[in-house]
Copies of this chain bind each other. A is one copy, B any other.
Amino acid sequence: MGSRLVVVGGGAAGMSAASAARRTDPALEIVVLEASGYAAYGLCGIPYYLAGSVTSADDLVAYPPTFFRDRRRIDLRLHTSVSHIDPERRHVTVSQDGHERRLGYGSLIVTTGGRPVRPPLPGLDDERVFTIRTLEDAISLRCLLDAGRVGSVLVVGGGYIGLEMAEALAERGAAVTVVEAENQVMPNLDSPVAALVEQEVRRRGVDLRLRTMLHGAERIGDQLAVRVGTQRLVVDAVVLATGVRAASSLAADVGAKTDDTGALLVDSAMRTSLPDVFAAGDCVAPHHRVLGRPAFVPLGPAANKMGRVAGIAAAGGSATFPGVVGTAVVKVFDLAVARTGLTLAEALAEGLPAVATDALGKSRAKYYPGSGPVHVRLVHTNDGRLLGAQVVGVGDGVAKRIDVVAVALQAGLSVADLVAADLSYAPPYAPVYEPVLLAAQAADALATQPDSPVAA
């Protein structure tokens, strides 16, 4: 019993943890308990499955359950949930097929992920109201779409998930309304950058309403009457995309320490404050390298990396997770929208003497077909410390441009260092005046003339 590793949750973090544990200790008994009917699925692929560009939900599954069972000797149990951890007696309470029983562990990895925030409003407990957080949710909505029964839809929340959903539903021909309580979309971008995204969303026919709240929904036959702001709309479906919190209660309820957002706190080997209990993925607030403290930034690649470290450490190996810098990219219609590090708003809220420098460049040489605008915002201190970046523009190069700044942040490079970066150039892929370098030059000029007026 002492050598059994139990993993709670079979998503990206959980299956990465189990796989890394297997590589670390070929003899270890490894059990993964997953509440849904799917493991190793890509939540990030759901918008493309709904839009129809991905045919089957099975395509979103990285490996089938048999792969883990047969090839990696991982005892993966689907439709199996965990209701309690007893950290003193080292067992979990497992529910499967209506039966509860106890399962002992030598070490435990909690990868319970995120849970959608559901506004406490009347009428939202309806099968036409969706929170897209599991493949099962997505399959239900896709069935409605395939049946031609979603002519109009309300998306609640203008964050990146809300906008991905808006795009997917618009591509299926639905009339889409998005309501966002704040005065900009994507709260993790600075407002001038978010304005570029809003422009694109509206250009593509989405009815975007800022500073507008949902007040409730009411079923009328096959439709829902919703109250948004001062208006009443009738739609075929509602999608809630009002944020995600760490699903940490299983561990937190028995004493695991959390940050003020409720996400689990861990050390660099992904150990929680409970003995032999590790955690990884969206239920964790990992170390943020720019902030220098834990932060809740639930994103897939970090979930995989944290899972790997937790798996190695829980199996007795040695590994550390050095933290995140908060890099993310999302496709919003024809724009790629990316960020890393801190926004200006985040940096100022942190008390840092931050400014932002914007540059507008091209994705390719101006004469090369398909060249389009790329907007780069660098966030930095007055004396040239790099704090973050936002990049919005056309083409696959945006995602990788943000990665250039992500690596620079990880390495502690200054804006002056970034000016000297030896980045690749060829007319089909970049202009000779690379937008990231244009922004770095402008930021460096600001930093070396600290008395000049600074536009933020």
Residues of A within 8 A of B (CB): 12, 42, 44-45, 48, 53-54, 59-60, 62, 289, 299-302, 304-305, 321-331, 336, 338, 340, 363, 365, 367-369, 395-404, 406-408, 410-413, 417, 420-430, 432-434
A250 CB to closest chain B CB (Å) equals 25
A142 CB to closest chain B CB (Å) equals 14
The chain B residue sitting closest to A325, CB to CB, is B422
The chain B residue sitting closest to A445, CB to CB, is B23
A304 is contacted by which of B62, B301, B432 (Cβ under 8 Å)? B432
**How long is the Cα–Cα vector from A288 to B79 in the complex, in angstroms?**
57
A58 CB to closest chain B CB (Å) equals 9
The chain B residue sitting closest to A395, CB to CB, is B396
A422 is contacted by which of B62, B326, B365, B433 (Cβ under 8 Å)? B326
The chain B residue sitting closest to A56, CB to CB, is B367
Let me know if B432 and A403 touch, CB within 8 A: no
A21 CB to closest chain B CB (Å) equals 16
Chain B residue contacts of A54, Cβ below 8 A:
367-368
> Which of A325, A402, A428 is the most central at the interface, judged by chain B CB atoms within 10 Å of its CB?
A428
**How long is the Cα–Cα vector from A424 to B338 in the complex, in angstroms?**
8
A275 CB to closest chain B CB (Å) equals 26
Let me know if B413 and A399 touch, CB within 8 A: no
The chain B residue sitting closest to A408, CB to CB, is B407
**How long is the Cα–Cα vector from A402 to B12 in the complex, in angstroms?**
26
**How long is the Cα–Cα vector from A311 to B302 in the complex, in angstroms?**
44
Chain B residue contacts of A396, Cβ below 8 A:
363, 395-397, 400, 428-429
Let me know if A432 and B331 touch, CB within 8 A: no
Chain B residue contacts of A400, Cβ below 8 A:
396-397, 399-401, 403-404, 424, 429-430
**How long is the Cα–Cα vector from A422 to B408 in the complex, in angstroms?**
11
Let me know if B422 and A301 touch, CB within 8 A: yes
Contacts A367-B60, A400-B397, A400-B399; is A301 near B423 (CB within 8 Å)?
yes
Let me know if A432 and B44 touch, CB within 8 A: yes
Chain B residue contacts of A421, Cβ below 8 A:
403, 406-407, 410
A382 CB to closest chain B CB (Å) equals 19
Chain B residue contacts of A44, Cβ below 8 A:
365, 425-427, 432
The chain B residue sitting closest to A44, CB to CB, is B427
Chain B residue contacts of A401, Cβ below 8 A:
400, 403
Can you add 20 more A-B contacts, CB < 8 Å, to A48-B428, A406-B424?
Answer: A42-B367, A48-B367, A53-B368, A54-B368, A305-B420, A323-B422, A327-B422, A329-B426, A329-B430, A330-B426, A396-B397, A400-B403, A400-B404, A403-B404, A403-B423, A406-B421, A406-B423, A410-B417, A410-B420, A411-B411
**How long is the Cα–Cα vector from A424 to B404 in the complex, in angstroms?**
10
